[in-house]
Chain A
Amino acid sequence: MKNLKLHWLIVGLMLSVVLIGCSSQSGGSGGEDKGVTIEFMHTSVEQERLDVINGLISKFEEENPDITIDPVVVEESNLTTKIVTLAQSGELPEVIEVGQDYAKVMDKDALIDTEAVNEVIGNIGGNNYYEGALKLVRTEDGESYRGVPISGWVQGIWYDKEMLASKGFEEPQSWEEVKEVAKAFTDVGNQEYGIALPTVENTFSEQAFSQFALSNNANILNSEGEITLDTPEMQEALSFYKDLAQYTMPGSNGVTEVKDAFMNGTAPMAMYSTYLLPAVYEAGKAENLGYAIPNEEQEAVYGTVSSLTIPAGLEDKQKEAAQTFIEFLSEGENATEYVLMSPGGAQPVSKNVVENETYQSNEVIQAFGDLPTEIAESFNEIKVFGLVDDKNYVKMGDITSSNAIPLMINDAVVGGASVDEAMQTAKDQLDKVVD
């Protein structure tokens, strides 16, 4: 009797294992019945954005009944960790939304099927994109692309027109004018500052500083791809940044501090991305917002592109499905919907969005008048570290990942190190990274 019970128990256990196995397989076979299932990894975690993405996926599945899209939603801060672990297990999703910096890291390790991406851009038409946006995703040899641009943002100095006018200032045109305005508005005792400047030890500071450096013709790499951190131009740029930082809030200022300081009137100027625009619109101050670009030897706009990429090593069926899906998302109406998930914040990277009626008639876009067009066109003026004479060095991905530049800025501005000391430390670190 006891043995009988034992046998039933064993049979029960085995049955459970088999059933669990079958249940996980049935999901896959369901997908197979419909044709092919691919995963789409993106970072739009907010519910409203998720609704838009899921809506686009449903529309795509209706038009392409043999392709099923399985969305994989990841927090932006976890994206790189997720990519590394999924890549290690050979489980990368077929379509991945990735920024230009991490696309370089993936490209370096041959994780991107650049040919497949190139085909997609060829099918959509390269002329459709702003040249600046394409430059950011072009491979080092200039022959192909690391991702298909879907949206982007640019960064500059945002200023409160009324506040500046109250002290007789207009849009600052040069480094010295920026400093002059910042000085005029700084009253440390009353916690009022002239400019909200990023000083935190992350890429936010690198992006802000890069505009000053590049406007002074200082890049991290030269045309041979060698590190050129210790040039007089770079030293001038860091010295100026440190000097300007005396008119900003004390300590390490990140995204929250900079945005809050500008929005609550603590500072009349802020170095920030276009993601400031939705908050300004909400506050009803759209008409009062001005946009300036750091300028010394030349103007330097910082911008970044969010692109959709296809990992290397996919089977043909999966690759074709991924290409079809990206082409679908890049169509004027769908790309517009994608960009308008954050109107004003996310910027169009292709002309078919800027010219789209839905985009133009969006109330947030309209509220800013000509500014969105000015911003979108500034994509063509984009200058970023590691992009030298249109050559987009792949090693810049490692340089950014190493965090050496933000550490240098934070050391000099917050940590009290001299410009020379901070630059030397960063140079030593970068030499190790690039070696």
Chain B
Amino acid sequence: MFKAKKETSDGKLALILLLPSALLILLLIGYPMLSNFYISFFQQSINPNLPSEFIGFENFSETLGDAEFYKSLGITLLYTLLVVAGSTALGLYVAILFNRPFKFRKLARSLIILSYVTPSISLIFAWKYMFNNGYGIINYIGRDILHIFDRAPLWFDNPTSSFILVVLFAIWRYFPYAFIAFLAILQTISPTLYEAAEMDGANIWQKFKAVTLPAIMPVMMTVITLRTIWMFYMFEDVYLLTNKVNVLGIYLYETAFAFNDLGKASAISVILFCIICTLIIVVRKRVNLNASS
């Protein structure tokens, strides 16, 4: 009886303590989402005092009938796939390398996360200068020192090289996130499991497949899920690096702020939300998160 009363009282306390956060989430996330959904059915002017015209699903049909949208979607999916795979694999590889004692380990670990903690804008400008057509160090080394090419390639003016560079930039910038997450989980794996595997005659790959992978799977899925969401909506890195890679973030931004078509921009963001939700649900259903057990 006393226990039941205590539980009710704790439950109430928990609810009260959670209430401000819940209200904040509703206010800051729920309301804008609903408002965005609402706007997507209107021809909306920038001026809220001018009447908005209800146009049903026209913004959606216009977006889905636009070849440029599918081109952007394709680029974005490829960009997301390459960056998520690249940054996760590199993060895992470096974490495995760093999960052993060596001199200056702490310093090395701090240095490895530099690209992740440095503000984007500094890194982007550093890359733009490195690949500058006139005085970039890459062209200087390739043309003047190593004589790999006679004329400096226009790195950020060619759509293909621009795409490769934005992918490489993102992998380099974001792999430390995966590295930190993997290093933390790797440190929890008991060395006896590896010893047992060795006694069974397992090689490095077999040890990774039978011991490491199942143990890190929940963390890997979280890293992949979050990175997929973040890369799918990526805007500033690509926008500031080049004009040649038109990912969906840029397509959306231009619709809203270059063409001032707020209704269509809202419809695009609703479509993107549906795509990313479906993608995440499918991925999470297909991968067995409890593999470690």
Chain-B contact segment, one of A6-14, A234-242, A269-277, A387-395: A6-14
Instruction: State how many residues of chain A have any CB contact under 8 Å with chain B.
Output: 41
Q: Which of B12, B132, B256 contacts A84 (CB 8 A)?
A: B256
Nearest-CB residue, chain B, relative to A5: B13
Q: Is the CB of B16 within 8 A of A313?
A: no
The docked-state distance in angstroms from the alpha carbon of A87 to that of B257 is 12
Evaluate whether A110 and B49 lie within 8 angstroms (CB atoms) in the complex, with A250-B152, A250-B154, A251-B157 already known: yes
Evaluate whether A191 and B134 lie within 8 angstroms (CB atoms) in the complex, with A2-B9, A252-B243, A403-B258 already known: yes
- Near A by CB (< 8 A), chain B positions 114-151 give 132-135, 151
The docked-state distance in angstroms from the alpha carbon of A401 to that of B258 is 5
* A292 on interface, CB distance cutoff 8 Å: no
* A213 on interface, CB distance cutoff 8 Å: no
Q: How far is the CB of B56 from chain A (nearest CB, A)?
A: 20
The docked-state distance in angstroms from the alpha carbon of A106 to that of B49 is 13
Chain-A contact segment, one of B40-48, B165-173, B222-230: B40-48
Q: Is the CB of A414 within 8 A of B157?
A: yes
The docked-state distance in angstroms from the alpha carbon of A229 to that of B260 is 23
Q: How far is the CB of A398 from chain B (nearest CB, A)?
A: 8
Chain B 29-72 near chain A by CB (<8 Å), digits 1 or 0: 00000000000000001111110000000000000000000000
* B262 on interface, CB distance cutoff 8 Å: yes
* A282 on interface, CB distance cutoff 8 Å: no
Q: Is the CB of A111 within 8 A of B46?
A: yes
Nearest-CB residue, chain A, relative to B257: A81
Q: Is the CB of B133 within 8 A of A250?
A: yes
Q: Which of A106, A111, A261 contacts B134 (CB 8 A)?
A: A261
Interface size class of B (residues with CB under 8 A): 20 to 34
* A105 on interface, CB distance cutoff 8 Å: yes
Nearest-CB residue, chain B, relative to A17: B20
Q: Tell me which residues across on chain B come within 8 A of A10, comparing CB atoms.
A: 16
Q: Is the CB of A84 within 8 A of B260?
A: yes
* A337 on interface, CB distance cutoff 8 Å: no
Evaluate whether A111 and B157 lie within 8 angstroms (CB atoms) in the complex, with A13-B20, A81-B257 already known: no
The docked-state distance in angstroms from the alpha carbon of A110 to that of B5 is 62
Q: Is the CB of B156 within 8 A of A13?
A: no
Q: Is the CB of B258 within 8 A of A257?
A: no
Q: How far is the CB of A162 from chain B (nearest CB, A)?
A: 22
Q: How far is the CB of B145 from chain A (nearest CB, A)?
A: 15
Chain A 60-73 near chain B by CB (<8 Å), digits 1 or 0: 00000000000000
Q: Tell me which residues across on chain B come within 8 A of A324, comparing CB atoms.
A: none
Q: Tell me which residues across on chain B come within 8 A of A2, comparing CB atoms.
A: 9
Q: How far is the CB of B262 from chain A (nearest CB, A)?
A: 7
Q: How far is the CB of A357 from chain B (nearest CB, A)?
A: 41
- Near A by CB (< 8 A), chain B positions 226-254 give 243, 254
Q: Tell me which residues across on chain A come within 8 A of B102, comparing CB atoms.
A: none
Q: Is the CB of A90 within 8 A of B157?
A: no
* A433 on interface, CB distance cutoff 8 Å: yes
Q: Tell me which residues across on chain A come within 8 A of B205, comparing CB atoms.
A: none
Q: Is the CB of B45 within 8 A of A251?
A: no
Q: Tell me which residues across on chain B come within 8 A of A401, comparing CB atoms.
A: 258-260
Chain A 104-119 near chain B by CB (<8 Å), digits 1 or 0: 0110011100000000
Q: Tell me which residues across on chain B come within 8 A of A89, comparing CB atoms.
A: 48
The docked-state distance in angstroms from the alpha carbon of A402 to that of B134 is 29
Q: Is the CB of B13 within 8 A of A6?
A: yes
Q: Tell me which residues across on chain B come within 8 A of A87, comparing CB atoms.
A: 46-48
Q: How far is the CB of A402 from chain B (nearest CB, A)?
A: 6
Q: Is the CB of B154 within 8 A of A251?
A: yes
Q: Is the CB of A9 within 8 A of B20?
A: no
* A312 on interface, CB distance cutoff 8 Å: yes
Q: How far is the CB of B6 from chain A (nearest CB, A)?
A: 8
Nearest-CB residue, chain B, relative to A401: B258
Q: How far is the CB of B50 from chain A (nearest CB, A)?
A: 6
Q: Tell me which residues across on chain B come within 8 A of A252, comparing CB atoms.
A: 133, 154, 156-157, 243
Q: How far is the CB of B255 from chain A (nearest CB, A)?
A: 11
The docked-state distance in angstroms from the alpha carbon of A312 to that of B48 is 11
Nearest-CB residue, chain A, relative to B10: A2
* A266 on interface, CB distance cutoff 8 Å: yes
- Near B by CB (< 8 A), chain A positions 397-418 give 398, 401-403, 410, 414-415
* A201 on interface, CB distance cutoff 8 Å: yes
Q: Is the CB of B16 within 8 A of A251?
A: no
Provide 15 A-B residue pairs closer than 8 Å at the C-beta atoms, listed in order of the A residue. Answer: A2-B9, A84-B260, A89-B48, A105-B46, A109-B47, A110-B47, A200-B243, A251-B133, A251-B157, A252-B133, A252-B156, A313-B49, A401-B258, A401-B259, A402-B258
Given contacts A83-B46, A251-B134, A251-B157, 5 further A-B pairs with CB under 8 A are: A106-B46, A109-B50, A110-B50, A191-B134, A398-B259
Partner-A contacts on B (CB < 8 A): 9, 12-13, 16, 20, 45-50, 132-135, 151-152, 154, 156-157, 243, 254, 256-260, 262
